Structure 1
């Protein structure tokens, strides 16, 4: 007879996400997960698979929780360019906060830590970046169609530039104690949208 789980797998996954996000993949041992989640090693393996599989599930959970808000922000009816500006400024403000210096963005952290040598994690990061670029492109193309963005501007190239800037401010924000550094970079990028 199968035993009933004595823990909530959803809550355990969220707890693992928080630990991996704060400490990174390599710095988080299975013993750390056992202690932090409050469940046994065998239960972790039976429910989530390996540490790597648990990490990828946590990364997927993070991406699912972040993307819906961006879709809503960038898909509002009306002028599109103000929404793009708002998103870029919000990313910069978050990157310049003291919370960002502690945790940063889980996707960006994964890109830096695992991207160069973990193809599966790199594909997850790329997928997240592709979604963000597509959202930015759709908003910029709509802005252009509505006359907010000059016709000679390339919405795809601008979306790619903004993606790189947003990821860059997240990286710089983790180590910089000067919020003006990321804020000024974001504003310079936004000046290219006129």
Structure 2
């Protein structure tokens, strides 16, 4: 079996993340993880305790390498609707560059595959969605025409639902412009609601 004598947990997690992201938890065996991470079973068990624990660790790595760089613009003080538009465009452009259909969102995938049957995954999905909701609330509250806070909360939750749906759609389309058109319609609807 392939073995690496020196690896960091971040390197192991990042390689495993790509496997789980593209193929899912259930379709990924320990043998597959050994091959794709170049770390022995013993190394994986020593570092994380098993396949499920490694999968759970992938959520944090996904935040570090995907969510934070893309979503930071929405979380910045003073972010507004243009920041939401930039977030969507950044992710769509990334998908188009790597090739559509793509793997979608790792967390959105996990929310349908494993979260219904695993409480830890369910909690991690909820934490991710709460981060999205808080970021969208931030941007919506800085539009200069912000609605009352309860309406902002409701619109932020709609943004989360749209986001998860958009990244799911990116798994089945080859057309980045179709994703962009959906974003434009969604943002136009948000603007209309805010005026």
TM-score range, shorter chain: 0.7 to 0.9
Structure 1 position 42, deviation (Å): 1.4
Relative distance call for 1:97 and 1:171 in structure 2 (3 A) is farther
Q: Is the 8 A contact 2:78 2:142 kept in 1?
A: no
| Aligned partner of 2:187 among 180, 187, 190 | 190
Corresponding position of 2:165: 168
Structure 1 position 34, deviation (Å): 1.2
Relative distance call for 1:28 and 1:78 in structure 2 (3 A) is closer
Corresponding position of 2:138: 138
Relative distance call for 1:181 and 1:124 in structure 2 (3 A) is same
Q: Is the 8 A contact 1:96 1:182 kept in 2?
A: no
**Within 5 Å, which residues of 2 pair with 1:148-167?**
149=145, 151=147, 154-167=151-164
Structure 1 position 97, deviation (Å): 6.1
Counterpart of 2:141 in 1: which secondary structure?
helix
Corresponding position of 2:175: 178
Question: In angstroms, what is the RMSD of aligned CA positions?
Answer: 2.4
For structure 2, the residue ranges without an aligned partner over 5 or more in a row are: none
Structure 1 position 95, deviation (Å): 5.4
Corresponding position of 2:25: 25
Largest Rg, 1 or 2: 1
Deviation digits for residues 19-71 of structure 1, max 9, x if unmatched? Answer: 11121111110011112222221121111111000110012211233343355
**Within 5 Å, which residues of 2 pair with 1:110-129?**
110-129=110-129
Structure 1 position 82, deviation (Å): 1.5
Bigger mean CA deviation after superposition, 20-29 or 93-102: 93-102
Report the TM-score when normalising by structure 2. 0.83
**Distance (Å, rounded) in 2 between the aligned partners of 1:22 and 1:79:** 31
Counterpart of 1:60 in 2: which secondary structure?
helix
Corresponding position of 2:5: 6
**Distance (Å, rounded) in 2 between the aligned partners of 1:139 and 1:192:** 15
Counterpart of 1:104 in 2: which secondary structure?
coil
The alignment status of 1:107 with 2:104, answered yes or no, reads no
Deviation digits for residues 130-174 of structure 1, max 9, x if unmatched? Answer: 10110110111122xxx2x35469221211111111110111110
Structure 1 position 94, deviation (Å): 4.5
